[in-house]
Amino acid sequence: MVLQFNNITIPSNYNHFIIAVLLGFIGAIINLFPIELAFNISLLIGNTVYIIAASFLRPQLTLLTALICVTPLYFYWGHPYGFLTFGLEALFISTMRNRGWYVLSADLLYWLVIGMPVTAFLIWINIASPENFILFSTFKQAINAVFYTSLATIMLFMFNDTLQKIKSEQPPLQKSLPKWLLYSFWSISAFLVISISLVLSTDFGKRQRVLYDRELEINNQYITHIGNSYLTTHQVAIKNIANQLSNLSKPEDRHQALQQLHQLYPGFLTMLVTSEQGNIETASPLSMLKKVDIKKMTVADRPYFIHAMEKQQLFVSSVFLGRGFGSDPIVAISAPIYTGLQKDTPSGIVEGSLNLGKFGLYDAKGHDKSHAKIIITDPINRIIYASKSLGLSTLSELKFESNASQKANNLMTFKAGERAGEMFIYKQAYLANQWKTYSLVEHGVVLKTTENMYLVIFITLFIVLLFASFFSTQFADYLNRPLAFVIKQLSQAKHPTDFKDIPYEAAEEIDALYQELKIGRQALLHNQRELQHQVATRTKELNKANDKLTELVNTDVLTGIYNRRYLKKNFSVIQSIQSRNHSNLMYAIIDLDLFKDINDTYGHLFGDYCLTKVAKILKQFFHRDADIVARFGGEEFVIVTPCNDVDRTRLRLDELRLAIASSPFKEEAIGSINLTVSMGVAIGDASFSSLQDDWFTVADKCLYNAKDNGRNQTCIQLLTHNKNAN
C-alpha cells in the first residue's frame, strides 16, 4: 500500500510507521485516564490499542506502539517496569500473530508463561514487603490484560471492514467456523466475565473504602476526643492545684498537699513546686525524691518556669524529653502560685510533667476489634506517640510520602522507621493544641480482600473459557449447515417469496429466527423510513420549543423587555465589540422616583402597569439591535448602548426623561397621575472595564446624586481613563 500526496509517493512501510505512532499516541492519551477500581488499583484501557496494532503490524512497529502507549504509566506508577512487561507483551503477541495465532490466545499464553512470572519477580526485588502484593498484582495484571485484549478483539470484529483498507503486514488467519466461534466465545465470555466481575468488585471496593474511611474517621474522633480531654483535664488540674497551693504558706503543707494531689492525677509523671528563683522546693512522687537531690536542681532556664512567672498564667510547653526526673517525652504544664495576700508577684510555680505514653492505653482500648493504628505528632511533625506495631521512634520526625498523585489522596508510604516502604490508608485530624493524629490501616489488609476477589475472577474466567471451548466446537457443527443456508437466503433474497425453507435439520430457535429475519428485513426498511420521519418532525418541534424557551428565559415576565440574566450574559458582547473598535459605551440606570409611594397609594397592580408603560417608552427611544434595554430589578431599568456622540446621547436621555414625565399614567378606577425618573449614567471608552459591576458602580453613584439633588434629573459621569489597561 502507498499514499499519494502532491505527486509524492509514500512507501507502505513508512505509512505503517505513521499508523504505529498514531495508534501509540491514541493509547497514551487513553492511559492518561486509568479507571480507578479500589485503593491505588486502576484498570488500563489504552493498552487495547497496541493489541489492535499487533493484529496487522509487524512486531517491531507493534513494540513502538506499545512503548508510546505505556509512557504515561511511567509517570503514573513512578517506575519504568511497564515498558518491560507491556513491551514484551506487544512483541510476543505480534510475533505469535505472525505465526497464525489469534491475539487473545497469544495473550493468555504470554501472561501464563512470561508476564505473571516477570511481574512477580519485579515486585519481589523492588517492594519492601513483596508478599503483600505479589499474588494480587500478578492476577490483577493478567486479568487487566485479558480484559483489554478481549476488548481489542471485539473492536477488531466491529471495525474489521475499516481495518481491511490497511494493507496488513500479518498473514491472514484461518477462518473456519469452529475456530471463529471458539475465538468469538472466548473474547465475549472473557470480556463479559471480567466486566461484570470488575463492576461488582469495584462496587464492593467502594463499600469497603467507605467502611474503612468510616472506621478511621471514628478512630480519629475517639483519639481526638480522648486527647483533648486528657490535655484539658490536666490543664484545669494544674490551675486548681496552683490555687490550692497559693493558700498554703508552709513548705511542709505544700509538700503534703502536692503528694495528695498527685495521686488524684496519675497522668503526671512528676510534679514539682519551685521558689521565685526557680529552685525546686518540693516534688512528687516520693520515690523520685530519694533518687535526686532537689535542693541542687533548678528549673530557672525552663520555658515553663519563665513563661508562668513572667506572664502569670497557665503555660503548656511543646513536647520534650524529661530531664532529671525521667527521659520520657512529656508536656510540661505550669501555673504561678502566690503567697499570702500578695497577688501581684508569683512566689513560684507548680509544674506537672504530663505522661504522653498514656495514649498507648487509649490506643489499645480503642482497637481491640479494629485494624486501625494511630500516630500523634506535634505541630512540627515530631512523633509524640505511635502504635507499637508501626516501629516508629518517639520524637523522631514523621517522614512519609503521600500518594495523592495516584488518585488516592489518603495513601501514605513510610520513608523512615522499621516499616519504611510500606503503604497505609490514613485519615488525619487535629487536636485542640494543633497536634495531629493519624489513623492508619495497612494497605495490605485492604488489598487482601480484593486479592481474593481477583483470584475468584481468575478461576471463574478459566472455567468459563473451558466451557466456551467445548461448547463452541459442538455448536459449530450444529450451526454450520443451517446457518450457511440461512446466510445465503438472507443475502440473496430480495422479496418475501424468494425465501426457501431450511432443507436441513435445525433447531427450532434457528428456524424461528429465520422466519423472524425474513419478516424483519422488510419491516426494517419500513421502520427506518418511519423513524426518519418521526425524527425530522420531533427535531423541528424541539427547535421551536428551544427558541421559545430561550425567549422566555431572557425576557422579563412583567414588562416584556430583557431581564437581568440577559443583561449579564450580553453586556460583555457589546462591551468587547465597542472596545475593539475604540468606541464609547453608555451604561444608564433609570429608577422610578417615589415608586414605593405609588405602590402603597394605588396598589401593586397599578405599579406593575407603570413599570410596563415605562419599559415601552424606553424601547421606543432605544430600539436598535445594538441597544440593550433590561429590567434590572424592582423599579430599576438599565440601558446599555454604543455612544459615538456624548452630547447627542445627553440630549436623547433628557428627551426620554421628559417623555416619561409628560406621559399620563392612568387607570379607570384611579385616574391619571404623572411620574418621573432619575437617571445615573456612565459614558466613556468601552475599554474602561470588561466587568459590568464596574460600570454599574459608576452609574449607580450618579443615580444617587440625581436622587439627592431633587430627583427627575440625569447625572452623567464621563470616564476618561482605561481601568483595565495592561
- Average pLDDT on 380-398 reads 84
| pLDDT higher than 70, residue 13 | no
Pair 101, 412: CB distance under 8 Å? no
How far apart CA 13 and CA 683 sit, in angstroms, is 67
Q: What pLDDT sits at residue 636?
A: 93
Is the model more confident about 23 or about 13? Answer: 23
Q: How far apart are CA 505 and CA 320, in angstroms?
A: 91
Answer whether 14-173 and 230-359 agree in fold: no
Q: Which three cell numbers stand for residue 125?
A: 526485588
The mean per-residue pLDDT over the stretch 548-571 comes to 84
Residue 314: what pLDDT? Answer: 93
CA dihedral 179, 182, 183, 188 (to 10 degrees): 160
DSSP 34: P
Per-residue confidence band for 43, with pLDDT thresholds at 50, 70 and 90: confident
Domain boundaries, the chain: 14-173, 230-359, 360-443, 564-719
What is the pLDDT, as a whole number, of residue 11? 47
* The pLDDT of residue 365: 54
- Confidence at residue 589, expressed as pLDDT on a 0 to 100 scale: 94
3-state DSSP assignment of residue 619: helix
Strand partners, 630: 562, 638
Question: Angle, nearest 10°, between helix axes 81-98 and 116-126?
Answer: 170
Instruction: Measure Cα distances from 423 to 288, 386, 401, 402 in Å.
Output: 43, 16, 9, 10
Quickly state the pLDDT bin for 239 (edges 50, 70, 90). very high
pTM for the model stands at: 0.49
* Cβ contacts of 88 within 8 Å, gap of 6 or more: 110, 114, 115, 118
Q: Check whether 406 has a pLDDT greater than 50.
A: no
Residue 532 has pLDDT above 90, yes or no: no
How far apart CA 297 and CA 312 sit, in angstroms, is 22
- Give ∠ CA 137-142-144 in degrees, rounded to 5: 90
Q: Which CATH number applies to 564-719?
A: 3.30.70.270
| Predicted local confidence at residue 528, as pLDDT | 58
Distance of CA 248 to the CA centre of its chain: 62
Q: Coil, strand, or helix at residue 278?
A: coil
- When mean pLDDT is compared over 114-123, 443-452, 466-475, 636-645, the highest value belongs to 636-645
Instruction: Identify the CATH number of the domain defined by range 360-443.
Output: 3.30.450
CA within 13 Å, CB half, 314: 16
Q: Which residue has the higher pLDDT, 399 or 327?
A: 399
Give CA–CA dist 280/291, Å, rounded: 14
Domain 14-173: give its CATH architecture: Orthogonal Bundle (1.10)
Measured in degrees and rounded to the nearest 5, phi and psi for residue 437 equal -120, 135
When mean pLDDT is compared across 7-16, 104-113, 651-660, 711-720, the lowest value belongs to 7-16
pLDDT for residue 397: 86
Structure confidence at residue 190 (pLDDT): 75
What does the pLDDT average to over 146-173?
Answer: 78
pLDDT of res. 196: 76
Which of 371-385, 460-474, 626-640 is the most confident on average? 626-640
Tell me the torsion sign for CA atoms 486, 488, 490, 496: negative
Residue range 531-542: mean pLDDT, rounded: 78
| Confidence band for 200, pLDDT divided at 50, 70 and 90 | confident
Average pLDDT score over residue span 396-415 = 70
Most confident of the ranges 77-81, 353-357, 548-552, 596-600:
596-600
288-292, 344-348, 489-493, 669-673: least confidently modelled range:
288-292
Cell numbers at residue 259, please? 503528694
User: What element of type H or E holds 107?
Assistant: helix 103-110
pLDDT tens digits along 177-197? 667 777 777 777 777 777 777
Question: pLDDT at position 57, please?
Answer: 87
Q: Where are the alpha helices (DSSP H) in 247-333?
A: 251-264, 286-291, 303-311
The neighbour count for residue 517, using CB atoms within 10 Å, is 14
Mean pLDDT (the chain, rounded)? 80
CATH superfamily membership of 230-359: PAS domain (3.30.450.20)
